[in-house]
Amino acid sequence: MNIEVDTHTHTVASGHAYSTLAENIAVASARGLKFLAITDHGPQMPGAAHFWYFLNMRVIPRIMHGVGILRGVEANIINFKGELDIDEEVHQHMDIVLASFHQPVIAPATKNLHTDGIVRAMATGKIDVFAHGGNPAFPIDVDEVAGAAASYNVLVEINNSSFTTSRPGSMKNCVALAEAVARHDGYLTFGSDAHIASKVGAFEECIHLIDTIGFPKDRILTRSGESFLTFLKGKNKQVDLSEFDLLFTR
């Protein structure tokens, strides 16, 4: 299966990742990705970048080495009202916003509260992707979350690192979440969650999961860079995404 977009990667700016933007782009280009989303951790994660880092992402060219570079953030859900750790000004500069739960920022509570937190974050219209939702530290009601994702036009991420280096015990929850997304006619995205360049575009474990459960491939939005761009354009963003059209004109 060919995947043209990596919606979740980190650079040295996250404080606990080990490659630069240029190194990540080189790997994305070599692997033939159409889009690479740079999604360093939001400001409340220990060691994360200052908010100026996110505002100034406008200096990054739209297309480098044939890859569309998306200015993004992996925002932290900071409470169960679904609020994020980025303010309106940062939000307006972002091409893509991921939202996720991280234990250094929010303490695990109950399944109902985790579910409320992400569903309310989706309802704000400010997020594009719910990242690593299979984390066993933050159990959720998969049907409620998948239903909300489908109605608020949010992608549900299957995170390759959850099966290799991070969040042990995620597999069972990710299977349940993916199956719920299929039942609710939503869409998945794959994120490498690379914290080092060699993992950019690495989706082997995601693909294995999808093949194992027979998830419908046409519900993986990031198989097509062009479909993914159409999705972003449909989200009423302040940013101008039109330069990315150059990726698809011959």
The footprint of Zn ion (CB under 5 A) covers 74, 100, 193
| Tokens 């999604």 sit on residue | 39
Burial track 34-56 (b if 16+ CB lie within 10 A, e otherwise): bbbbbbbbbbbbeebbebebbee
Are 65 and 25 in contact by the 8 Å Cβ rule? The answer is yes
Determine the Cα–Cα distance for residues 41 and 227; give it in Å rounded to an integer.
26
Which segments of the chain are extended strands (E)? Answer: 5-6, 35-41, 63-64, 67-76, 96-100, 129-130, 155-159, 188-191
Letter for the amino acid at 193? D
Write the DSSP assignment of 184-236 as a string of letters: TT--EEEE--BSSGGGTT--HHHHHHHHHHT--GGGBGGG-HHHHHHHHHTT-
Closer CB to Zn ion, residue 135 or residue 224? 135
Closer CB to Zn ion, residue 40 or residue 116? 40
Nearest approach, Cβ of residue 147 and Zn ion (Å): 23
Nearest approach, Cβ of residue 16 and Zn ion (Å): 10
Closer CB to Zn ion, residue 4 or residue 193? 193
Nearest approach, Cβ of residue 116 and Zn ion (Å): 20
Nearest approach, Cβ of residue 125 and Zn ion (Å): 21
Closer CB to Zn ion, residue 167 or residue 184? 167
Nearest approach, Cβ of residue 74 and Zn ion (Å): 5
Closer CB to Zn ion, residue 75 or residue 148? 75
